[in-house]
Amino acid sequence: MSIIVEHDKRRHEILEKALDVFIEEGFEDVTFQKISDKCDITRTTLYTYFRNKSDIFNYSIKQFMQILENEISEIRKKKALSHSGKLTGVMTVIIDRLEENSRLLSVVVDYLLNSTKGGFDPSSRVRRRTVRLRHILTTMLIEGIKAGEFAPSINVKEANELLYSFLESAVLRMVVLRRTSVDEIKPAVKLAVGRLTVNV
């Protein structure tokens, strides 16, 4: 058991240092040698943890999404929260995690920009990575409508797009505008969710 814990701990340390290399060099210019140099390990040792730089990059995103999904799941289980409270809580935790992982977001944006040079469509890659998140938001909206808390006239697709646009705005402000905090988005999220509720 302790071997697994040590392996996971070492893997996490490598991820943190690899992110520094990705930020300094840009995704395209990063090599396994540069990552192993930054981590003070041999390339052979690095291969015991990851297959290549894409594996490191994908694992970082997967780890981020798994932590986020676990937190979202915990908020959704809280029976004391209303549907609007749950939705606001989920949006807030996502924004908080985006802030905490702004370095990873910078690498993701760099990767997406570079993928356009290779003729790839970045929107399809983003959609693939965020489909579960969009599904969770859609499900929460439908649950709120069924419970009678959200207005039945709400267009779920449009409401989902509105909520998702707050998250895209947060990423833009952090990565492009170099903001260290996007707390100003949270009251706007609360206002938007409040407008979904049925007027009593």
Computed over every residue of the chain, the mean pLDDT equals 89
One domain for residues 12 and 43: yes
pLDDT tens string 51-97? 988 888 888 888 888 889 999 999 999 999 999 999 999 999 999 99
- pLDDT band of residue 3 (cuts 50, 70, 90) is low
56 in Cβ contact with 15 (< 8 Å): yes
One domain for residues 125 and 177: yes
One domain for residues 7 and 103: no
What is the DSSP code string of 112-171?
A: HHHHHHTT--HHHHHHHHHHHHHHHHHHHHHHHHHTTSB-TT--HHHHHHHHHHHHHHHH
One domain for residues 106 and 24: no
d(CA 191, CA 200): 16
Question: Number of structural domains, the chain?
Answer: 2
Last residue of a domain, one of 32, 50, 68: 50
Question: What single-letter DSSP state applies at residue 39?
Answer: H
Q: Residues 135-141: what's their mean pLDDT?
A: 96
For residue 42, give the CATH number of its domain: 1.10.10.60
Alpha carbon of residue 122 to chain centroid: 16
d(CA 88, CA 191): 9
What does pTM read for this prediction? Answer: 0.84
d(CA 34, CA 50): 14
One domain for residues 32 and 126: no
Q: Which domain holds residue 20?
A: 1-50
pLDDT tens string 152-193? 999 999 999 999 999 999 999 999 999 989 999 999 999 999
pLDDT tens string 87-133? 999 999 999 999 998 888 888 888 888 777 777 777 777 777 789 99
